[in-house]
């Protein structure tokens, strides 16, 4: 059950946005407003998008304010209700003490056409957890009672946390991929936070034949998750010749060498995008998920003749909606997808971001928010 609510709690903030730097601070625990729940967070995943926001490397966004509490893959228990929130929570089957998840999108208006269409990330009034709104790298957070995601029984909170962004994002992206069961789907960045969930959901959850791409030391890991083929991107040069050779090898791994039905680019990497169209067979779909940091670079090879001649599609996919989040957690409840993660205390966040920047992470890192050190 919910424990007494403190007046203050610990939070990890970006103390020098633009650099990899975080600091633990003591902040006031807010009281929930109308329609809000106060969530006592126990775990938060660390997503590469937090890295992009902390370092101000996404040039299309305004700069991150100093003191920002980041994080958007939170799990905790409902500790208190604001006015009217108990009824709103009950409508979603939730009561005091229940476990809930916080997603990248923190709240939506619920009334615009995008919201009505279930395209939450397109809502002009959408707020983002951990960007101009306190996120989940802290022990307590506010959230709308009707926007938190119930965590199914039997799914541990640490395992659940990365599903709230990474999991739902790749689930929604795979659903948009136009691939059919039995088709080959390439997961680029297959050993990372998003990628390792995508490999499992694609192969075990949706019946796709997965080809993984990442650096060689992640091969065994990626194959163990359900990939039937793997390519080490470091073995191919980053020029056109390297891309052509990788495309040739990927295609050779597909049925009759025709190419993949879809590529989900889960790596925030321009070279990964530059190679992706080459993996596709006719009628294939490139699903853009990863967000490269730095100056924007167009997708190499995306010229009309290439798209027309092979009837290719390029689409973007931004996180997922509440229903997709529930479906993703259900995949975990049925053990179709299992997060592979390392638990770290709050004080390790800077170190985690440094390792992430060097592409050393395999699976996800989850912060244990009950531990400062
Ligand atoms: P991560 O660092 O855990 O994983 C990225 C993986 O890509 C790593 O395993 C890395 O080795 C691999 N990689 C790097 N370059 C590659 C290349 N050229 N080819 C193949 N693999 C390569 O990061 P993450 O947390 O999984 O996030 C991945 C990306 O997705 C980030 O850009 C993040 O901002 C973005 N993202 C997008 C959405 C969305 O809604 N579209 C949601 C969450 C995250
Ligand atoms: Zn994320
Ligand atoms: Zn809206």
**Residue 143 forms beta bridges with which residues?**
37
- In the chain, list all ranges with CATH 3.40.50.720: 168-316
Q: For 14, phi and psi rounded to 5 degrees? A: -80, 105
pTM, 2 dp: 0.98
- The residue among 308, 297, 248, 245 whose CA lies nearest residue 274 is 297
Span 94-125, pLDDT tens digits: 999 999 999 999 999 999 999 999 999 999 99
Residues of the chain with pLDDT under 70: 1-2
CATH superfamily of 168-316: NAD(P)-binding Rossmann-like Domain (3.40.50.720)
Residue range 8-165+320-368 forms a domain whose CATH class is: alpha beta
DSSP string, 81-103: E-TTHHHHHHHTT--TT-EEEE-
Distance 193 CA to ligand 1 centre (A): 7
CA pair distance 40, 189, nearest whole angstrom: 32
Element (H, E) at 232: strand 227-232
Considering only CA atoms, which residue is closest to atom 22 of ligand 1?
A: 189
Given this model, what pLDDT does residue 238 score? 86
Rounded to an integer, what distance in angstroms lies between the CA atom of residue 248 and that of residue 176?
25
- The bound ligand whose nearest atom lies closest to the alpha carbon of 275 is 1
pLDDT of residue 2: 52
Name which of 202, 206, 79 is nearest 145 in CA terms: 79
Please report the atom of ligand 1 found closest to the CA of residue 233.
19
Where do you find CATH 3.90.180.10 in the chain? 8-165+320-368
Rounded to the nearest whole angstrom, what is the distance from the C-alpha of residue 309 to the centroid of ligand 2? 35
User: In 3-state terms, what secondary structure has residue 147?
Assistant: coil
Tokens of 213: 């791409």
Name every protein residue with a CB atom under 6 angstroms from any ligand 1 atom. 47-49, 52, 165-166, 169, 188-189, 191-195, 213-215, 233, 266-269, 271-272, 289-291, 317-319, 356, 359, 361
Which pLDDT belongs to residue 358?
Answer: 92
Minimum-distance ligand 1 atom for the alpha carbon of 272: 18
Site to probe by mutation for ligand 1, drawn from 120, 189, 215 as the one with most ligand atoms within 8 Å of Cβ, is 189
Beta-bridged to residue 342, according to DSSP, are: 365
**Token pair belonging to 4:** 């007494």
Q: For ligand 1, what atom is nearest to the CA of residue 268?
A: 32
Residue-level pLDDT at 59: 87
CA-to-CA separations, 318 to 122, 166, 212, 262, in angstroms, rounded:
8, 11, 21, 17
Atom 19 (ligand 1): residue with closest C-alpha? Answer: 272
Longest dimension (CA), the chain: 64
Per the CB < 8 A criterion, the answer to whether 104 and 129 are in contact is yes
Closest C-alpha to ligand 1, atom 4 = 192
Position 257 scores a pLDDT of: 97
Percent of the chain with pLDDT over 70: 99
Q: What is the dihedral of CA 135, 91, 334, 50, to 10 degrees?
A: -10
CA 71 – ligand 1 centroid, Å? 16
CA of 107 to the centre of ligand 3 (A): 9
298-302 long-range Cβ contacts below 8 angstroms, 24+ apart: 299/273, 299/274, 300/243, 300/273, 300/274, 300/275, 301/274, 301/277, 302/277
Strands of the sheet with 227-232, listed across from one edge: 227-232, 209-214, 184-188, 260-265, 280-288, 313-316
Residue 239: its pLDDT value, please? 87
């Amino acid at each position: 059950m919910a424990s007494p609510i403190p007046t203050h709690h610990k939070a990890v903030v970006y103390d020098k946005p633009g650099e990899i730097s975080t600091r633990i601070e003591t902040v006031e625990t807010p009281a929930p407003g109308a329609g809000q729940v106060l969530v006592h967070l126990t775990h938060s995943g660390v997503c590469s998008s937090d890295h992009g926001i902390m370092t101000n490397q996404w040039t299309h966004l305004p700069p991150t304010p100093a003191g920002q509490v980041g994080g958007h893959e939170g799990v905790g228990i409902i500790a208190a209700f604001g006015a009217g929130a108990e009824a709103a929570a009950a409508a979603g089957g939730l009561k005091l003490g229940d476990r809930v998840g916080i997603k990248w999108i923190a709240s939506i208006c619920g009334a615009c056409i995008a919201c009505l269409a279930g395209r939450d990330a397109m809502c002009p009034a959408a707020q983002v957890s951990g960007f101009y709104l306190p996120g989940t790298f802290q022990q307590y957070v506010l959230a709308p009672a009707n926007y938190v995601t119930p965590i199914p029984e039997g799914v541990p909170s640490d395992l659940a946390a990365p599903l709230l962004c990474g999991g739902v994002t790749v689930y929604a992206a795979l659903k948009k991929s136009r691939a059919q069961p039995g088709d080959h789907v390439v997961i680029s960045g297959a050993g990372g936070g998003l990628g390792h969930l995508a490999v499992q959901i694609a192969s075990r959850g949706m019946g796709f034949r997965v080809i993984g791409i990442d650096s060689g030391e992640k091969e065994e890991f990626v194959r163990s998750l359900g990939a039937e083929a793997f390519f080490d991107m470091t073995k191919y040069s980053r020029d056109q010749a390297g891309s052509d050779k990788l495309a040739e090898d990927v295609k050779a791994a597909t049925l009759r060498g025709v190419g993949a039905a879809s590529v989900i680019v889960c790596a925030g990497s321009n070279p990964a995008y530059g190679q992706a169209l080459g993996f596709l067979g006719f009628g294939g779909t490139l699903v853009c998920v990863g967000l490269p940091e730095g100056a924007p670079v167009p997708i190499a090879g995306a010229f009309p003749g290439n798209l027309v001649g092979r009837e290719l599609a390029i689409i973007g996919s931004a996180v997922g909606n509440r229903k997709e989040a529930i479906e993703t957690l259900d995949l975990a409840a049925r053990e179709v997808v299992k997060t592979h993660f390392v638990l770290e205390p709050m004080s390790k966040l800077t170190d985690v971001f440094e390792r992430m920047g060097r592409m050393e992470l395999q699976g996800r890192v989850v912060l244990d928010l009950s531990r400062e050190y």
